[in-house]
Amino acid sequence: MNKTFILLVALFGLTVAMRDQSIAVKGRLLCGNGPAANVRVKLWEEDTGPDPDDLLDQGYTDANGNFQLQGGTAELTPIDPVFKVYHKCDDSKLKPGARKVKFALPKSYITSGKVAKKTFDIGVLNLETVFAKEERELLVSRRRRGGFNADYMDPDASQEDKKEEKKVVKIEKEEESAESNESEDSKKTVEV
């Protein structure tokens, strides 16, 4: 009985110690002289140790390159908010995946509660810049490839490029089918 009571008090104390914390970030992304439209952006809370990172919010830049993200989570210690950008600006079409840039956000913009009370304005960022510790996102889920904003991987691709790619795939499939039919015909000839 005594051990159970102590365990319940400890769990209650831990629950009370968990506090809601939130942050918001806004800004504008450019690619050279123009807006970086339809660029995927995410707001994360990065954890060290066994606790997995928390995705707080995600979205895409608008036609002018503007974005605004806000989110929160419950943690024992102060959250470590990170803003990530996934883009193909000034990137070779031969390189797989997207460029991934990560920015640690100031802790002074973390507020208590589920809704952020302050917004960090990251300003205008030109994605042509090669940022320190820039990475590549190589794996893209099937859902993102085929779902909403599926062309984020190559937002510069024109509709004509996409039509041309579809034609090439169709021709390749027709050639494979023709080769398959030829090999079946040769098998029939051998059997006779």
Cα angle for residues 107, 109, 115 (degrees, 5° grid): 120
Which residue's structure tokens are 């390749």? 172
Per-residue confidence at 192, pLDDT binned at 50, 70, 90? very low
pLDDT value of position 7: 55
Q: How far apart are CA 37 and CA 60, in angstroms?
A: 8
Q: How far apart are CA 89 and CA 104, in angstroms?
A: 21
pLDDT value of position 84: 97
Average of per-residue pLDDT values in the chain: 78
pLDDT in tens, 21-56: 999 999 999 999 999 999 999 999 998 767 788 999
pLDDT value of position 47: 82
Beta carbons of 73 and 21 less than 8 angstroms apart: yes
Q: How far apart are CA 184 and CA 178, in angstroms?
A: 10
> Which residue type is seen at 8?
L
Phi, psi of 190 (to 5 degrees): -65, -40
Higher confidence at residue 189 or residue 88? 88
The two tokens of residue 43 are 């707001």
Q: How far apart are CA 86 and CA 93, in angstroms?
A: 15
Radius of gyration of the chain (CA): 25
pTM: 0.66
pLDDT value of position 174: 59
pLDDT value of position 1: 62
The two tokens of residue 16 are 């009370």
